[in-house]
Amino acid sequence: MKRQVFIVWFFIFIVWAFYRAKFILPESVDEFIVKPLIFLVPPLFLVWVWENKKLKELGISFDVKSFLTDVYIGVVLGIILAVEGLMANYLKYQKFSFEPVAAVLLAGGIGSFLLINLATAFSEEVLGRGFLFGRLYKVTGKQFPSAITASFLFMLLHLPVMFTRLHLTGTALLFYPASIFLMGVTNSYLYTFRRNLVLPILLHAFWNMTVSLYL
């Protein structure tokens, strides 16, 4: 099973890197169509079709009471991330600059921005936490090494966008992958704690919004 994890990850990494290098399509196409096809189809096929297991194996489950608790915790963590983002915004511009917010609103509005970030978070959390971390933890029984390994692999999946679309330089080139890695480790523990992906998805979406708006 451990070997399966690395094979699936490597396949996804190669396909995703090729796509990022060869195609530049609207973000909505990337996040609603291409990323789900590349990130979700391989683990879903393996678990749901090949192994004939339920989607809960990937952290995809729903319980109303648990969902409301996850939303509450997610909003609180989202507020903390927003405060962190404002501080980073001030440090970067030496004042509070809301030009990134205006750019988002002009690009399609806060509603579409939120939907895109939720779609991104869903695809990436099913792969990063539900599949990579979940499988490694199940095989080894060791949470910390599994979280570190899965988060590192997850971070590597973001390298193509760093060099093909974001064109990061300076401290951002270090901060961006480091923050992705730390978020991955945090979400691995949240996934273990809540036993579903709702809270990791919400935290991931809020993190994406903070980075997009303020960094």
pLDDT digits (tens, 9 = 90+) for 33-44: 999 999 999 999
CA atoms within 13 A of residue 90's CA, in its CB half-sphere: 6
Report residue 138's pLDDT band, with 50, 70 and 90 as the boundaries: very high
Contacts of residue 184, Cβ cutoff 8 Å, sequence gap at least 6: 128, 129, 133, 147, 150, 151, 152, 154, 155
Report residue 168's pLDDT band, with 50, 70 and 90 as the boundaries: low
Q: Give residue 28's pLDDT.
A: 87
pTM exceeding the 0.85 threshold for the entire prediction? yes
Judge whether 33 and 68 are in contact, CB under 8 Å.
no
Q: Give residue 97's pLDDT.
A: 62
Q: Give residue 160's pLDDT.
A: 84
pLDDT more than 70, % of the chain: 84
Q: From its phi and psi, is residue 52 left (phi > 0), alpha (psi between -120 and 50) or beta? A: left
**Integer CA distances (angstroms), 160 to 7, 104, 119, 177, in order:** 19, 23, 19, 11
pLDDT digits (tens, 9 = 90+) for 20-72: 989 988 888 999 999 999 999 999 999 999 999 999 999 998 888 888 999 89
Element (H, E) at 81: helix 64-93
